[in-house]
Structures are given as C-alpha cells and as structure tokens.
Amino acid sequence: MTYPKWPSEFELRRKNRHVLSERLHWPAGAVQACVDLEERHPGWRVWWLGENSSPGWELPAGFSASYETRGHATTELKAFAPTAEELEPLLVEVPEHDYSKRGCDFCRARY
C-alpha cells in the first residue's frame, strides 16, 4: 500500500498564499509575481502586503521578501518594494557561510 506524499513546507506555504491572496484581494498577478521571483531567487520568500495605515506602522502596499540566512551571523534578510520589478534587484544571492579562519565575506563573522 502506498500513502500520499505529505506536502512539503514549501508546497503548503504556496497553497496557503493562494488561499490568502483570494481572501485578502491581492491585485491581479501578485501571486504569480511572487512565484516567479521565488523561482528566480532560490531561498527568498516573497509576499504581497496591502497598505498598512495603522499609526506608527504606515507602509504602502507592495512586495515584501525575506531570506533566512542559515549559518551567517545575520539572522534574516528583508527587502521591500512597491512593485515586483523594483524588488527583484534587492533579492541578492546569498553565498554559503564561510567557516574558514579568514572569515565570511558575506556576514564578516569569523566563526
């Protein structure tokens, strides 16, 4: 007997994003733009955020991205831009952390 494969965390997050995008009325093409950016920039998670007008937290609508930097001394990289086109150049390629004695060029840590 075979069991269906449990969906990966990545697949679950994509499904979840799709459901949320309909509920939160994301603009047309926003989901696809997130998928495209994630495919072109592995490791980055891209999300669309509606305008936040809460006092002290004002932020225009736009695309938000984060990258979990495993190994590096910085815990997470974040980027935000009003459009997917403007976000793309901010999604830098993150090299593997360099544990050698000379230190890591990316995060400057020497451990």
Q: Which stretch binds Zn ion (CB under 5 A): 14-22, 48-56, 80-88, 89-97?
A: 89-97
Q: Smallest distance from the beta carbon of 111 to Zn ion, in angstroms?
A: 9
Asked whether 101 and 110 are in contact (CB, 8 A), the reply is yes
**Count of positions on this chain that bind Zn ion (CB under 5 A):** 5
Q: Which stretch binds Zn ion (CB under 5 A): 33-41, 60-68, 70-78, 80-88?
A: 70-78
Near Zn ion by CB under 5 A: residue from 44, 47, 63, 106: 106
Residue 107 found at the interface with Zn ion (CB under 5 A): yes
Q: Which stretch binds Zn ion (CB under 5 A): 21-29, 44-52, 54-62, 96-104?
A: 96-104
Compute the distance between CA of residue 60 and CA of residue 16 in angstroms, rounded to an integer.
23
Give residues in contact with Zn ion (CB under 5 A).
Answer: 72, 97, 104, 106-107
